[in-house]
Amino acid sequence: MLVTMELHQEGHRTGRSGWLRAAVLGADDGLVSTAALVVGLVASGAARIAIVTAAVAALVAGSLAMSIGEYVSVSTQADTEKADRLREAAELEGDPDQELLELQHIYESRGLSSELAATVAEVLHRNGALEAHLRDELGHAEETRARPLQAALVSAMSFAVGATLPLIVVVVAPTSVRIPFVAISTVLAMCLLGAVGAQLGGAPPLRGALRVGIGGTLALLVTYGVGLVLGASV
């Protein structure tokens, strides 16, 4: 009983961590790309109104691009799952005996004795043969099912949330310290996201934080340099 409950909870964690990780990645993208843009613009000496306009445009454009990209990629995955389902249903319709045998072999290969595998396969075939095949032959699961709309919404919203931080900081920070304020808040937020992302994936949080933090710092340094060069020469 205890074991069953633990397995059940484990399954739920897998389902949730899928879109949670997507959300962390989206926030990461929004944060880094907008902060890098803002730092480059500040370094170039652009006016505050230009910086804020560009940052808002980057937030909106990035959110849209992320959601469209995510929708297309997850839709492809959903199409594949649907095609699998149709093919499996047709096979069951066309040759149920062969399919029953197939299911039995799958359970045998997982360590069940021949008789037990045959019994399990028969019972499952009577109560929802298609679901049994999708689950045990193709590895489909409710927790990992492709949900294009959900994926699109999650990535658009998380990108926008990530992009909001540098936008707010550049608006409220005094002019002379805008770059360090944006840079420090961005790197701290990135380390936090990196740690959370690593935690969700079961990796050491500190390593995740450092990896993302260093990557983000490099991105900021590069656009800072670009801003300086363009600001001096254009």
Residues that bind Zn ion (CB under 5 A): 99, 133, 137
- Long-range interactions of 17-21: CB distance < 8 A, separation 24+: 17/200, 17/201, 18/143, 18/144, 19/150, 19/151, 19/154, 20/200, 21/197, 21/200, 21/201
| Beta carbon of residue 133, minimum distance to Zn ion (angstroms, whole number) | 4
Question: To the nearest whole angstrom, how small is the minimum distance from the Cβ of residue 143 to Zn ion?
Answer: 21
Nearer to Zn ion, 29 or 99 (CB): 99
Q: Is 181 helix (H, G, I), strand (E, B) or coil?
A: helix
Q: Supply 75's token pair.
A: 């839709």
| Least distance to Zn ion, CB of residue 116, Å | 19
Q: For the chain, give percent helix, strand, coil, nearest 5.
A: 90, 0, 10
Tell me whether residue 138 or residue 153 sits nearer to Zn ion (CB atom): 138
Two tokens, residue 182: 């944006």
Quick one: 125 or 133, whose CB is closer to Zn ion?
133
Least separation in angstroms between CB 138 and Zn ion: 8
Nearer to Zn ion, 102 or 192 (CB): 102
